[in-house]
Chain A
Amino acid sequence: MSVVLADLAYWQETTIRLVVGLIAVLLPAGTLVYLFLFKMMSFMQSRLGPMEAGPYGSLQLLAEVGKFLQKEDIVPQAADRLIFKLAPFVVLISTFLLILVIPAGPDLWFIDVDTGIFLGLAVSSISVIGILMAGWASSSKYSLLGALRATGQLIAYELPMVLAVVGVIIQAGTLNVQEIVMAQATGEIFGFGGIGNPYVITQFVGFLIFLIAVQAELTQPPFDMPVAESELVTGYLTEYSGLRFLMFFIGEFATAAIFSALAATLFLGGWYVPGLEATDNLFNVIGPIILLGKMLLVAFFIFWFRFTYPRFREDQLQQLAWKVLIPLSLVNIVITGVLKVVF
């Protein structure tokens, strides 16, 4: 994008970035909802899912959005109105900030900072504040319980996620996401460089930990106690309706899409496929599509787990994070470091 935008006025550039950013958030989120939530889930349950709106129900999502927009925007009487109304925006902002760091081609990126991955993981935790605000301001016991659970869970799983990424950072030797992709494109596995070095091979443990942590960050089953429908109705979402619920909904699936894209970037080689020179201009065209494909692959697993597993209990989830995932990722870091020094 930097090339394209080189000789445009600042306001033009900003507008273009905004539009592209909106598309980059909404399009993958919509794809995920349709492909996985509507269709894959239905197929896994021997049904067809939405079929009426558009061919194979492909316009169902628009219909849903229309429905949500029509709904009355209800604020509970005892709610803290300002915070209640602000909360969905905070969650969405974290989503929009997160997409900034993901490159979709050699010259396609929003920002190219040297601490990209660090920035990304940092802004991803802003959503916790939004969730806490939502839960507190709803003045509902279910919401409060849900928000507190969410906070505990997101904080607990932030750690293994970051630690899993550290392995990648050590191997790539940089915090810059674009350079991590490049390192995977040009890397070699013990001297064999035919397919580059997607870190899913050398960092397999890290990849698994990252996936589990992402699952928890997204509060998807088996880690969905914060929004557990059968216990807490829907946790911090209980009191939301209409547009605000839609925003949470978009936030949830956009975050799912972006985290999958992040996983694809860090572990599966991002926009790069073997066979072409990494700096080839062609990647500026097919890069986003490749990234989308890889993202869908990761998301497939995330949603597959979601539709198959029952949920943990809160204490079991914390135990899993602190007693299993964190030690495991620390060991992973140590081994990666040692190998990095040795080779």
Chain B
Amino acid sequence: MSDTADTKQMAYIAAQAADARVNLEIETEGMTLNIGPQHPATHGTLRIVVRLDGEQVISAEPLMGYMHRGYEKLTEVRTYPQVTTLVNRIDWLGSFANEVPFILAAEQLMEVEAPPRAQWIRTALFEMSRIANVVLFLGDMGVQLGAVTPVFFAFRDREFILNQIEAVTGGRFHPNFDRIGGLKDDLPKGWIDETRGVLKRIRNFCDEIETLVVGNEIFQSRTRNIGVIPADIGLSYGLSGANIRSSGVDWDIRRDGGVGLVHNELDWKVWTHPDGDSFARFWVRLQEVRESCTMIEQILDGIPSGPVMAKVPRIIKVPAGEAYVETENPLGVMGYYVISKGDLTPFRVKIRSASFNNVSITPWLLKGVYVPDVISILASLYFILGDIDR
């Protein structure tokens, strides 16, 4: 190598190095912000690592598992009646709804069917747990956006629903009321009339939320066109429940193939919204609460008489086999895949919980939004930490 070439090359390298240094000095570095695991907006211990440029999100990554309680593994060493009491802690706000698909799967394996009265009451409680769950979302969304009052309304009126659930099952949060082959007990006297009054309150609450939150222009400007999920992207991430219905996908397992529940004998409507933004998700959920009220009213009118428990042996041994049952839970589709080897305990249970899939879309969805919108989008996706980590 000649001298000239060498100096040229040296000069080139020096120039490159100088450029790089200048770049380093001028370029503003992004900032990494840990939202969670302890953060008011994640209501639980979800951790989202976002890289920020100013207040704009460059990338976001949800890290889950801070609340893993190992229910899938635990079911392998618990008898079937014991499993119901575990799984209703998955989505703790709508706990009765967690028991239903598991019980249905076990019933499928045992080839028993709950008597009609049990099915109707089951459906009523199922919808009531949906109300208890979603009502809190309707209030919580306000808090995430800075309005303090709606959440108190939500807690206030959810209390009435919980009271009704408690009056039947004995548990406000963890009913453990569903049994393989029916229900633990029948309704107490006077419950049906009281529930009618409670439903009126819930409708009233929906109206209040409609004027206080939905009609508020600030709320609309914060949620409209924020976090838009196109239907195909949503489906490819496995979104379900109100999250996908608000993207215009008309899909509800309660209508399209529910087993063991009586939704198909009722007159109701699946709500969808074409926009797919945060506002749509809020709106669809609001309508679903009202729809649930309609359903429960019809159920209260039409509960058939009869026993609430089919003939089931006292010690439950489930014959060998596999079953997968999914239902439309408050947060979305929840399914249990139960494998039995004929023992007292399941051999393996796989739980498909809705929030896990719903949160998985966040890296795609949060790209390019601002920090305040991160919160409103997360709130509108509506996850429950227990439902993500199980």
Contacts and interface: CB of A to CB of B under 8 A. Distances in A.
Interface of A: 41, 44-47, 141-142, 145, 221-222, 224-225, 228-233, 307-316
A311 B152 contact: no
B143 interface: yes
Interface string B25-58: 0000001010000011100000000000001000
Given A145-B55, A228-B372, A311-B372, 9 more contacts: A46-B153, A142-B33, A145-B371, A230-B375, A307-B148, A307-B149, A308-B212, A309-B146, A314-B372
A310 B216 contact: yes
Contact of B375 (A45, A231, A314, A315): A231
Contact of A230 (B40, B153, B156, B219): B40
Interface of B: 31, 33, 39-41, 55, 142-149, 152-153, 156, 212-213, 216, 218-219, 221-222, 370-375, 379
A233 B371 CA distance: 12
B389 to A, nearest CB: 21
A152 B47 CA distance: 28
Nearest to B221: A316
Nearest to B374: A231
Given A231-B41, A315-B370, A310 B375 contact: no
Secondary structure of the B contact surface, majority rule: helix
Residue in A225, A232, A316 with the greatest tally of chain B CB atoms within 10 Å: A232
A45 B152 contact: yes
Contacts of A225: 372
Nearest to A149: B55
A314 B152 contact: no
Contacts of A44: 149
Contacts of B153: 45-46
24 contacts: A45-B149, A46-B153, A141-B31, A142-B33, A145-B371, A221-B146, A228-B146, A229-B40, A230-B144, A231-B372, A233-B39, A233-B40, A309-B146, A310-B222, A311-B145, A311-B146, A312-B218, A312-B222, A313-B221, A313-B222, A313-B370, A314-B55, A314-B370, A316-B222
A75 B287 CA distance: 48
A141 B149 CA distance: 28
B221 A308 contact: no
Nearest to B38: A233
Contacts of A142: 33
